[in-house]
């Protein structure tokens, strides 16, 4: 774990009726850490993201951020979902402004941050386009820019690139890392994609199937930018494949 202390603590059991989805799931995340939560479809990744966001009450236990129960009114939480949730009546620039407007960031500072993020995600020239005029990858760039524009306590990314073609996905992964390296925000990135987790994470938390516990927590110490053909990458992929089970 990186220096900076524990930022987020998760210790929850989550049930929906009789279904135990998370079974005393416990982990912590350090400030500015980039953690991937890896698990098969249906194991409860989105549930974990919703609990971290304070959008879902814990059936048992708690999620705390800086020692306080996760609460969207007290913490600055930013999301990027699989379907980019842009406001269709707002331009690229005005979508990126949303979080800053909510925070009432003063105009000059707001304009500076928006311009900075537009530059960082490579959307210069597209500021006045509307969501319907841009591709899926560009929409996700807008969502990413919006998330990183505010100084969030925690950025939650729930399979944000699952709907993109492979090449676009690789480009977006590299971009997210570039921005995270500049901004150093705490990121929890949920995915079912082994390579994506290895490429991105400082640490991978591998989940079991329901009732879901932690199968393993692995530090990824491969040099960046990571190379899919690196022997260490291939070895880790094999190890994760084994951890996830034969049906993977």
Among Mg ion, ligand ADP, none, what does residue 173 contact (CB within 5–8 Å per kind)? none
C-alpha–C-alpha distance, residues 6 and 185, integer Å:
13
Residues 68-97 that bind ligand ADP (CB under 6 A): none
Q: Would you say 61 or 122 has its CB closer to ligand ADP?
A: 61
Which one of 7, 44, 46, 220 is in contact with Mg ion (CB under 5 A)?
A: 46
Based on the number of CB atoms within 10 Å of its own CB, is 116 exposed (0-12), middle (13-18) or buried (19 or more)?
middle
Residue nearest to Mg ion as judged by C-beta position: 46
Sheet with 34-38, strands from edge to edge, namely 77-80, 154-158, 187-191, 34-38, 203-207, 214-219
Instruction: Select from 19-27, 40-48, 62-70, 202-210 the region that touches Mg ion (CB under 5 A).
Output: 40-48
C-alpha–C-alpha distance, residues 248 and 243, integer Å:
9
* Binding track over 92-121 against Mg ion, x by CB under 5 A: ------------------------------
- β-strands 34-38, 203-207 pairing: parallel
Instruction: Select from 43-51, 105-113, 166-174, 223-231 the region that touches ligand ADP (CB under 6 A).
Output: 43-51
Q: Would you say 8 or 121 has its CB closer to ligand ADP?
A: 8
Take residue 92 and report the two structure tokens written for it.
């690229």
The answer to whether residue 39 forms part of the interface with ligand ADP (CB under 6 A) is yes
Which residues fall within 8 angstroms of residue 115, CB to CB, at 6 or more apart? none
Residue bearing tokens 């516990």: 213
Instruction: Select from 4-12, 39-47, 117-125, 240-248 the region that touches ligand ADP (CB under 6 A).
Output: 39-47
What number of chain residues touch ligand ADP (CB under 6 A)? 10
Based on the number of CB atoms within 10 Å of its own CB, is 94 exposed (0-12), middle (13-18) or buried (19 or more)?
middle
Give the footprint of Mg ion on this chain (CB under 5 A): 45-46
Give the footprint of ligand ADP on this chain (CB under 6 A): 16, 21, 39, 41-47
């Amino acid at each position: 774990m990186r220096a900076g202390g524990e930022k987020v603590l998760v210790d929850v059991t989550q049930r929906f009726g009789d279904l135990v989805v998370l079974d005393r799931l416990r982990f912590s995340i350090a400030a500015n850490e980039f953690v991937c939560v890896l698990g098969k479809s249906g194991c409860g990744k989105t549930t974990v993201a919703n609990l971290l966001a304070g959008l879902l009450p814990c059936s048992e236990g708690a999620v705390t951020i800086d020692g306080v129960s996760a609460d969207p009114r007290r913490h600055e939480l930013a999301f990027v979902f699989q379907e980019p949730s842009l406001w269709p009546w707002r331009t690229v620039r005005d979508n990126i402004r949303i979080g800053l407007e909510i925070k009432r960031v003063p105009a000059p500072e707001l304009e500076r941050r928006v311009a900075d993020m537009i530059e960082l995600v490579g959307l210069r020239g597209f500021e006045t386009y509307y969501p319907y005029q841009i591709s899926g990858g560009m929409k996700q760039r807008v969502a990413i820019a919006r998330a990183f524009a505010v100084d969030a306590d925690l950025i939650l990314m729930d399979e944000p690139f699952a709907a993109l073609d492979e090449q676009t996905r690789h480009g977006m992964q590299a971009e997210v890392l570039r921005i995270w390296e500049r901004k150093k925000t705490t990121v929890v990135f949920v995915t079912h994609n082994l390579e994506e987790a290895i490429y991105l994470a400082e640490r991978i938390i591998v989940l079991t199937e329901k009732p879901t516990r932690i199968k393993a927590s692995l530090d990824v110490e491969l040099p960046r930018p990571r190379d899919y053909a690196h022997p260490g990458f291939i070895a880790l992929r094999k190890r994760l494949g084994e951890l996830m089970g034969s049906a993977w």
